[in-house]
Amino acid sequence: MVVSRKDYLSRMGRVLAPYSFLAPFLILFTVFQVFGFLFSFYLSFQSWNRLLDLGQ
């Protein structure tokens, strides 16, 4: 069965449309998750005491 280009593009548009609505959320969610993970990894190697640093 031969599928015309117009039918193929129409079908792909219907398949990909939900992902275009979800993409901004998924991108921002991933960026903040990766940043949080990397920053917590960085902080785990630091040696500091917040209670003692308040008086200085």
One digit per residue, the tens of pLDDT, for the chain of length 56 reads: 777 888 888 888 888 898 999 999 999 999 999 999 999 999 888 877 767 765 55
Could you identify the residue written with the tokens 């939900």?
A: 18
Could you identify the residue written with the tokens 């990397």?
A: 38
Indicate the residue type of 13: G
Q: Which pTM does this prediction carry?
A: 0.59
